[in-house]
Structure 1
């Protein structure tokens, strides 16, 4: 419960939660815990219980708190502008407490424009389509102390496995017996934790959980940046979900959207009768693709709002990582715009210098307070040094989505195998730039929506070949350098395109089905990825990868070696992108010894053809510029891993 300091008495006769130093930090754009001062805070003033309210509206001539407690009357609870010119209005309303719905009534200085706005700093909101904020104190007794302590003892060191399961809360599972309703946060916790543990993922990434009025936006059009969506329960319920994941040893990443926000009347747009959070000029302030407003990253109060929001989720909800949405749209002033539809920067260029500075300050703030937390950029261009530290000129992210790998790989695998030999460079090109950034390989929701179909139906051939190609894709993905991300449903080859209004097709996963085979394959890949140092220790380091042969286009085969830090951990990976068994296929290897098959995507338990072997001894026959070689029968449309046995009997 907040209790105002006595030395911050205002002209209106109550004690403010804001100090002069708060105002200084706000104006500097460096107030990173602003959520503790603005918004609604239950407290006590002069022995009377109630709620402190504070909102930034510098261009207002009148602001009032309205709600059920005063019959939404615009005048009965006026707020008072601070004397310091900060543009903050505040008041204390006695008797108002937990669960009270409220808004701000704002009359602007400009044309006396009036509007009712939700609180930008509210911790909770009414369930859409209702739009009011809700007074809320989200106290919670965490049980994840062991996870948090272990997390603090580590850095974001790039030698750890990151296998991420991307989840949309409203459609992972539903309850058809109850009108196809979605699960609550607590129901999801009881089911998702067990499933993710069984599948062996290291992290869950939730698509945006922040309050959003339009469910079909999947959370990417946010009006309540500090409020978990009430569609699924309370903030405490969401903390319960995170807590349970942590107790099971699973990290939690949130999608975070600082790039744009919707124009809904109760939201941030045109907040005090002016373009307060967004640019006034549509050439900088309106996104043509998403029909949404773009934050004014050059305004210090907006930077304080956004960075304090990022740190809020890390502090209050114990989040382990933030995946920043649509970074490319932030970096370029001409993003998705034609000539004449954008304004060059002060040097005449297309780079958004204010957004660049904001992203650097955001990453520096996270690094300073939570160095063990990872930040991930969804950035689809060749912008340099996205994952390099800010002091050397980078943006400061820990990882970046490898969109080029995703596009090239899916295009290549969509080809009938007979044509793949003519496109060998498409499957090998990603290694040319694989170590220019710290990449995460994403097969995300974006690949299975808007008419793109399901992942398995992107594959050519009959049913057997489609699933063999899918297993080959995942085996190749887990062997490729970089962290991994799979969207829900992809792990068992869902047939239908993802639909946010329905559950995943869990009925497809039954013993003997191709879907069960794919699910089992992904589970075992997650296990190998975590277990084998060669697959994760040097995932962002060129020392961890070595081509054996990238040029066998005739057979559409590629082969490479993954290595661990010790130099002794080695895994040979051979991918056959044709439905033909490559018999007596010779592969060069660097050392003498036994090479044991530890993974084969053609194995019978994955519903493959079952062409499997146990162990191969290298022969002193030079090949591929290496002193030794193996003779293999490479299974069709499959990837195999062979581990060097450092202690053969």
Structure 2
């Protein structure tokens, strides 16, 4: 009998020794789905948000919570002066579920509320796990749930929006720091000011960070406390819906950073010790604590936890019409040691005892559910391990993500800038790093994200220009260090975007070389908002050099968009001349030529090609991008044979030092 080989293994024979493990994972996921759903669909199963939490009914209100270790639960709030009262006492209805029904006039829209949960030895006030809106008192800083039930629910206008099949050009953004003023900015401000800017810049997908409620603003939204509540520090749930609605009206998809990898340890406003136990949502003991993040780790083997998290996915997709997720901390979830201290240099690292089968199964179910809710939804994995099959279909033996983040590229660029002189940049290694990926899996390529912009790290522009950023950025101020930095900034981003493995990402402000790092208010900076903002005025100011970078990014993204460049899977090496620091590659009809040499410009430099005619469509040395205008962009370029007509043709070019040219091959009119 012929051995069954999942398509993932058929596509990569090196995986054959692990075909049994891959097949087992498929079987386990199918079995687990049947156990959870009882034969129903994942869509029907993942509806906990429609049952749990506070809901308005035709005759009043009903609230349910899961707290298996509780002995008594009371609803307390502004409506009963935060006192435990018999009429607000929950009833245990079985399997750890508690329920309370109330008359219509018992509570009102806008009331604050919480749970007072009692267990055998103690009790504690808790923000309900399924709360849909949570607010913080400005004076006491205490978090409470708030009844959100406006008389007129939000009315969606762009109900027919569907994410297109175009490769995602992702604009990673944080609502709170998206404005210029030193404060927390709002959903409304982002909608009014940022949506038009993102649309004009050519991006087609917005990735919003820090949406689910988090107690500490400086966590960047990665220490979540309330998984079903959009952060109130930016505005109301309806204002977030309006933001997404108007983005859809502009043709922009909106995805969200989804943090299912861990949860904040906070007990009053989070899930920590929720019903008096550590193990309700999380693993007990050391396994339940992340050693590097000071947070709790979910138990993906527990049915109620999987129900909670899958319902969370369906909730954001349906209630707010998000178009998908970038799953945070995937590596941490996949491995019992969270991927710490492993180089992942061989396939055995991905299929051994260190892999958490429950997490693997969870991802398979989560990605299947997303397509059931919205077949056009987008699923991206933030994974640094490179597990084979991560971004392959579930039915092929994969985990079902559409893309994974190419997390090695930012690290590579930083390493090159930090550790090598300009003359030592290895164009062969650059091309390898840019294109090294599994052929059957798509990646989101990026030169830098928010990680490189945080205090403790440096953006590419800061590493290249350093303190001169503050003194020599007027266009009438010559500075060799700044000129070098601007030239390389354009080349690095063009090389990364043009070779992207199916999608490209930029963090807001990085496109124009934002001069300030990100530092959220904290005790160490006297709770200052000075560096938790983006200064758009310097990008818009035509007298500043930031404007050059901003314009270049617009044209680069337009080139990629208009020519559907990222739909072309193959990126083909044409030339890598290490002594000269020259790199050239083809992508479809487009030829990309980079001269990374810091000193030498080349005249009549030959690029070996077939016979053809080319024209320049993008030039980093153009004066409108801060270059020296040394290349004629208006003429056509023809390949010339080295000898006879049948000999090797070359495209003879002038290549200025530290510059890149993009050519498009055009048809040569045939003689009549």
Give the TM interval when normalised to the shorter protein: 0.7 to 0.9
2:97 is matched with which residue?
A: 88
User: Which secondary structure does the structure 2 equivalent of 1:453 belong to?
Assistant: coil
2:433 is matched with which residue?
A: 429
Gap runs ≥5 in structure 1: 1-20, 340-344, 564-569
1:603 is matched with which residue?
A: 622
User: Which secondary structure does the structure 2 equivalent of 1:619 belong to?
Assistant: strand
Equivalent residue in structure 2 for 1:291, among 291, 294, 297: 294
The offset of 1:29, in angstroms, is: 11
Gap runs ≥5 in structure 2: 1-34, 343-348, 466-479, 521-528
Q: What is the CA deviation profile of residues 101-131 of structure 1, one whole-angstrom value per residue up to 9, with x for unaligned ones?
A: 111111113xx22111111111111136331
Equivalent residue in structure 2 for 1:312, among 311, 315, 318: 315
1:32 is matched with which residue?
A: 46
Cα distance change, pair 22–451 in 1 and its aligned pair in 2 (3 A)? closer
Cα distance change, pair 276–54 in 1 and its aligned pair in 2 (3 A)? farther
1:450 counterpart = 2:480: no
The offset of 1:338, in angstroms, is: 7.7
Equivalent residue in structure 2 for 1:386, among 384, 390, 394: 390
1:74 is matched with which residue?
A: 84
Equivalent residue in structure 1 for 2:580, among 555, 559, 571: 555
1:166 counterpart = 2:191: no
User: Which secondary structure does the structure 2 equivalent of 1:360 belong to?
Assistant: helix
User: Which secondary structure does the structure 2 equivalent of 1:508 belong to?
Assistant: helix
| Root mean square deviation of aligned Cα | 2.7
Cα distance change, pair 198–107 in 1 and its aligned pair in 2 (3 A)? same
Q: 1 CA distance for matches of 2:419 and 2:537?
A: 29
Equivalent residue in structure 1 for 2:608, among 588, 591, 595: 588
1:567 is matched with which residue?
A: none
2:536 is matched with which residue?
A: 506
Q: What is the CA deviation profile of residues 410-451 of structure 1, one whole-angstrom value per residue up to 9, with x for unaligned ones?
A: 322445554424574245334232635210013210011132
Q: 2 CA distance for matches of 1:27 and 1:371?
A: 15
Indicate conservation of the 8 Å contact 2:36/2:303, yes or no: no
TM-score, normalised to structure 1, is: 0.86
Q: 1 CA distance for matches of 2:243 and 2:283?
A: 40
Indicate conservation of the 8 Å contact 2:154/2:238, yes or no: yes
Cα distance change, pair 203–348 in 1 and its aligned pair in 2 (3 A)? closer
Q: What is the CA deviation profile of residues 337-361 of structure 1, one whole-angstrom value per residue up to 9, with x for unaligned ones?
A: 689xxxxx9x981111111111111
The offset of 1:274, in angstroms, is: 1.2
Q: What is the CA deviation profile of residues 264-287 of structure 1, one whole-angstrom value per residue up to 9, with x for unaligned ones?
A: 112111111112444343332101
Q: 1 CA distance for matches of 2:643 and 2:440?
A: 32
The offset of 1:620, in angstroms, is: 2.7
Q: 2 CA distance for matches of 1:101 and 1:51?
A: 15
Q: What is the CA deviation profile of residues 433-474 of structure 1, one whole-angstrom value per residue up to 9, with x for unaligned ones?
A: 263521001321001113212320222670110111101111
Written as runs of structure 1 = structure 2, the 5 A alignment for 1:464-483 is: 464-482=483-501, 483=503
The offset of 1:288, in angstroms, is: 1.2
The offset of 1:78, in angstroms, is: 4.4
Q: 1 CA distance for matches of 2:560 and 2:647?
A: 26
Q: What is the CA deviation profile of residues 506-525 of structure 1, one whole-angstrom value per residue up to 9, with x for unaligned ones?
A: 34221132210000000111
The offset of 1:33, in angstroms, is: 1.5
Q: 2 CA distance for matches of 1:54 and 1:616?
A: 71
Cα distance change, pair 386–358 in 1 and its aligned pair in 2 (3 A)? same
User: Which secondary structure does the structure 2 equivalent of 1:476 belong to?
Assistant: helix
The offset of 1:174, in angstroms, is: 3.8
1:322 counterpart = 2:325: yes
Between stretches 578-587 and 62-71, larger displacement belongs to 578-587
Indicate conservation of the 8 Å contact 2:317/2:373, yes or no: no
2:127 is matched with which residue?
A: 118
2:142 is matched with which residue?
A: 130
1:631 is matched with which residue?
A: 652
2:471 is matched with which residue?
A: none
The offset of 1:302, in angstroms, is: 0.6
Equivalent residue in structure 2 for 1:102, among 107, 113, 126: 113
2:193 is matched with which residue?
A: 191
Q: 2 CA distance for matches of 1:385 and 1:23?
A: 25
Indicate conservation of the 8 Å contact 2:180/2:535, yes or no: no
Written as runs of structure 1 = structure 2, the 5 A alignment for 1:483-522 is: 483-500=503-520, 501=529, 502-509=532-539, 510-522=541-553
Cα distance change, pair 586–417 in 1 and its aligned pair in 2 (3 A)? farther
Between stretches 330-339 and 216-225, larger displacement belongs to 330-339
User: Which secondary structure does the structure 1 equivalent of 2:514 belong to?
Assistant: coil
Between stretches 448-457 and 112-121, larger displacement belongs to 448-457
1:332 counterpart = 2:341: no
Q: 2 CA distance for matches of 1:189 and 1:143?
A: 15
Between stretches 434-443 and 361-370, larger displacement belongs to 434-443
Q: 1 CA distance for matches of 2:481 and 2:37?
A: 65
Q: 2 CA distance for matches of 1:554 and 1:270?
A: 61
User: Which secondary structure does the structure 1 equivalent of 2:489 belong to?
Assistant: helix
Indicate conservation of the 8 Å contact 2:423/2:597, yes or no: no
2:6 is matched with which residue?
A: none
Written as runs of structure 1 = structure 2, the 5 A alignment for 1:227-242 is: 227-242=229-244
User: Which secondary structure does the structure 1 equivalent of 2:161 belong to?
Assistant: helix
User: Which secondary structure does the structure 2 equivalent of 1:261 belong to?
Assistant: coil
1:531 is matched with which residue?
A: 562
The offset of 1:194, in angstroms, is: 1.3
Cα distance change, pair 329–29 in 1 and its aligned pair in 2 (3 A)? farther
Cα distance change, pair 277–258 in 1 and its aligned pair in 2 (3 A)? farther
The offset of 1:244, in angstroms, is: 1.3
User: Which secondary structure does the structure 1 equivalent of 2:135 belong to?
Assistant: coil
Q: 1 CA distance for matches of 2:119 and 2:333?
A: 29
Q: 1 CA distance for matches of 2:280 and 2:665?
A: 57
Cα distance change, pair 409–348 in 1 and its aligned pair in 2 (3 A)? closer
Equivalent residue in structure 1 for 2:590, among 544, 551, 571: 571
Q: 2 CA distance for matches of 1:169 and 1:317?
A: 16
Q: What is the CA deviation profile of residues 347-404 of structure 1, one whole-angstrom value per residue up to 9, with x for unaligned ones?
A: 9811111111111110011112211001000000121111001122211000000012
Cα distance change, pair 608–348 in 1 and its aligned pair in 2 (3 A)? closer
The offset of 1:161, in angstroms, is: 2.9
2:303 is matched with which residue?
A: 300
Q: 1 CA distance for matches of 2:194 and 2:352?
A: 50
Indicate conservation of the 8 Å contact 1:105/1:115, yes or no: yes
Indicate conservation of the 8 Å contact 1:417/1:577, yes or no: no
Q: 1 CA distance for matches of 2:663 and 2:547?
A: 24
User: Which secondary structure does the structure 2 equivalent of 1:60 belong to?
Assistant: coil
2:13 is matched with which residue?
A: none
User: Which secondary structure does the structure 2 equivalent of 1:260 belong to?
Assistant: coil
Runs of at least 4 residues off by over 6 Å = 21-30
User: Which secondary structure does the structure 2 equivalent of 1:290 belong to?
Assistant: coil
User: Which secondary structure does the structure 2 equivalent of 1:161 belong to?
Assistant: coil
Q: 1 CA distance for matches of 2:100 and 2:45?
A: 21
